[in-house]
Structure 1
Amino acid sequence: MEEYGCFIQYLKLSKGVVENEPRWKNEAITVEGLGLVNPKNVYKFYNDLHSHLASAGIDGVKVDGQCLLETVGACSKQTAIVRASEDFFPREPVSHTIHIASVAYNSLFLGEFMLPDWDMFHSLHQAAQYHGSARAISGGPVYVSDAPAKHNFDLLKKLVVPDGSILRAQFPARPTKDCLFSDPTRDGVSLLKIWNINKHTGVLGVYNCQGAAWNSVARKNTFHKTKSEGITGYVRGHDVHLISEVALDSNWNGDCTVYSHRCGDLVTLSHNVAMPVSLKVLEHEIFTITPIKVLAPGLSFAPLGLIDMFNSGGAIEGLKYEVIGKGYEVEGNSNAEERLQKLSIEVVALVSMKVKGCGRFGAYSSAKPIKCRVGLSEVNFAYELASGLVTMNLHDMPPKDQKVHSVEIEL
């Protein structure tokens, strides 16, 4: 290690950290210090390490312990990522609901100046869907620490597209405004709602986190008595705090479509109308929320994205609406005024989207599309008249030189 100029760095703990958690005085990392590579040699160190691993057939690594909240004052000079919670503990049932609540509320603070990391999880685990869905909407990194051959690929496919990338949201996820002063871990009546935003859609995760909390007497997390039946909460379009910023209409009236990942239901919600959702402990639901674009009277549209993935709207990289009016005169002899009254307008709308990844693509349309195209090819699609759900299959990844699919829907 001599060629990398390594040295020992001792932690500088503030009085507040020591008062809140006295154990830090005797932590090995405090007493014995931490070995670090000279920043000038970091590139060479990682290049040598990763080259060796790559030659052995390894194509990915997990780097842990890059930043500690207790030392964020000094680490944040060179890195912008910080763990937002305690570790993921696969063998501690008491930890799972608390983990989701902790990362969401901590991100409210940390997300203003750091990139919160919601930690790894196991894809083959009884709470894997619960944890995985939260990572998908977190806005941070998504990674698992599965043991070899112990994977749930059905779950992983909801998180990662075939090229290894994720559908990452735009910001650190945070609790909704109506959750800020409730306690969804122990009040027995509250669900936790977590929002984030994509380029053209919003995403809202709803979690039942009741049943366990920090015990200040025992100084550890413990279970407490809670309801076994479901708790009912309510979802609104403006639960996604910045939803108006992705509406491609300065006169948007607040109407949204809401797609349920777990149930596969699509509904439209008028401005400020609430939709009930009931969940038992350790249950969750992910909603894709999209502003409805009114293209013409009786003709409206809202994209959803790759609807089999948790953060479906993260697949939509570009969105453009074009409305074309075609006029024609009704047959018959009449004067100019009568002809004007008999003039009919046929409205044709073209929705153009840039879509990342592959899978089942969905959108809301108030009318059955005339045709759908992927690239230059017209493709089959399904349309549910009752809900307005349009679906089509993007069977393959986009060509490497394009990176995204060009999807067009004509209405």
Structure 2
Amino acid sequence: YDPYAKIHAVARVFSGGPVYITDRETEKTNIDLLKRFVLPDGRLVRVDKPALPTKDVLFRDPYNEPVLLKIASEVNGSISIAVFNVSKSGGRLDGSISLDTLPFQVKRVDYAYYKTFSGERGILKQDEELPLSLEELEVEVINLVPVEDCKAVVGLKEYLLPRFPVKVFRFPNGKVLAESLVSGTLLYYVDGAFSESEVREGSVIEV
């Protein structure tokens, strides 16, 4: 129920460490936010390794300068980038992300992207930038999945890190299967269009 609970939750999920939740005034707890990063069995969605700052902010000061703080990690075959507006100047800040600024090596292909909180989705070309704009103390999570053989499995859109609760199997003949570890809405990209399918825990669908 803290006004900055979302920004704190995202930062902790990307840290790879524990997430602490107060038990004070439980009736005010933001259950919808908790469901973004806690699976039904109590496990937390998490990045593969602690996130690192992107190259373009490595030597910047996002608190004292009007620049967005951007950190990135990998999640089960996808890339997740958390973007924060923590500048003390307040107000809206604009920026962008690109493959070139990521703090680790990635495949040089086009990527399907999905913004967790706004729901925006699209294609990020390997040589292009994705523009971003955030109000003061706002946060967004951008999830990138490589498009291979005209297909990309983004994951369950209800979760902060959509690919965490999904297993993806690719076969030499181009067949792609997605197994969902929990129930939700599977978002995927095939032949130039995004689609959604309701899935149940343990279900397997062909993309």
TM-score (norm 2): 0.90
| 2:97 aligned partner | 235
Cα distance in 2 for residues equivalent to 1:363 and 1:206? 23
Deviations 1:13-39 (A, max 9, x none): xxxxxxxxxxxxxxxxxxxxxxxxxxx
Please give the residue correspondences for 1:4-153 in structure 2 after superposition, counting only pairs within 5 Å: 124-147=1-24, 148-153=26-31
CA–CA distance in 1 between the matches of 2:72 and 2:181?
Answer: 21
Structure richer in helix, relative to its length: 1
Highest RCO, 1 vs 2 (Cα 8 Å, sep ≥ 6): 2
Shift of 1:227: 4.3
Partner of 2:155: 305
Corresponding residue for residue 361 of structure 1: 186
Q: 1:327-367 deviations in whole A, cap 9, x for unaligned?
A: xxxxxxxxxxxxxxxxxxxxxx4211233222111111125
1:233 deviation in Å?
Answer: 0.6
Q: Equivalent residue of 1:161, what SS? A: coil
Equivalent residue number for residue 406 of structure 1:
204
Which protein has the bigger strand share?
A: 2
**1:315 alignment partner AA:** P
Deviation by residue 1:125-163 (Cα, 9 ceiling, x = unmatched)? 211111122223332223312323332111111011111
Letter aligned with residue 231 of structure 1: L
**1:155 counterpart = 2:33:** yes
AA at the equivalent of 1:365 = V
Matches of 1:151 and 1:315 in 2, distance apart? 24
Aligned to 2:133: 278
User: How many equivalent residue pairs?
Assistant: 206
| Structure 2 contact 67–93 (Cα < 8 Å) conserved | yes
Cα offset, 1:310, TM superposition: 0.8
Match of 2:73 among 196, 201, 211: 196
Structure with max Cα Rg? 1
CA separation of 1:356 and 1:254: change in aligned 2, threshold 3 A: same
- Aligned identity (percent) is 28
CA distance in 2, matches of 1:239, 1:355: 31
Which residue number corresponds to residue 108 of structure 1?
A: none
Match of 1:205 in 2: 82
Answering whether residue 155 of structure 2 is matched by residue 350 of structure 1, we say no
Whole-angstrom CA distance in 2 between matches of 1:209 and 1:303: 31
Q: CA RMSD in A?
A: 1.9
Q: Secondary structure at the match of 2:27?
A: coil
